[in-house]
């Protein structure tokens, strides 16, 4: 036993990894939401980790506000890219403060980066991505509020 590392759990650690294709395809989006909402309690607790309800609410509010503005925009508006960048900063800030789990922070970070990248080439595609991202953020909120 000396020098050996024992695993306290034989269960694989749950993963929640962002796949940008969910922002392109409604069927994949529905599958992603169903996957998130049907995670078993032990997996949700591992994904949520140190996330506080208050921190997630702040992130959700800032990110969804930026997404809602993008969705409602009639044409390209560079100030919305700044809003999305600020949302990205808030996600990283809450993770750095250890108020948001790395799993959730990385998921939202990747989602926001996909939207920002799309906005640089196709405003209409970015708007569609934002609508789908809003749905995913709401599904994550359900988990956070049920388990914190």
Q: Would the CA dihedral through 85, 87, 90, 95 be positive or negative?
A: negative
CA pair distance 142, 36, nearest whole angstrom:
9
Q: What is the pLDDT of residues 96-134, one digit of tens each?
A: 999 999 999 999 999 999 999 999 999 999 999 999 999
Q: What is the pTM of this model?
A: 0.89
């Amino acid at each position: 036993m000396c020098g050996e590392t024992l695993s306290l759990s034989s269960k694989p650690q749950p993963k929640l990894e962002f796949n940008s294709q969910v922002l392109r395809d409604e069927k994949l989006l529905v599958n992603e939401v169903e996957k998130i909402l049907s995670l078993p309690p032990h997996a949700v607790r591992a994904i949520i980790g140190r996330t506080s309800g208050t921190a997630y609410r702040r992130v959700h509010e800032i990110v969804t506000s930026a997404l809602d503005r993008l969705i409602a925009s009639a044409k390209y508006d560079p100030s919305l890219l700044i809003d999305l960048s600020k949302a990205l900063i808030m996600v990283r800030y809450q993770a750095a403060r250890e108020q948001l789990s790395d799993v959730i922070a990385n998921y939202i970070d990747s989602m926001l980066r996909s939207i920002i990248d799309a906005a640089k080439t196709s405003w209409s595609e970015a708007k569609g991505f934002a609508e789908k991202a809003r749905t995913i953020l709401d599904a994550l909120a359900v988990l956070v509020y049920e388990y914190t």
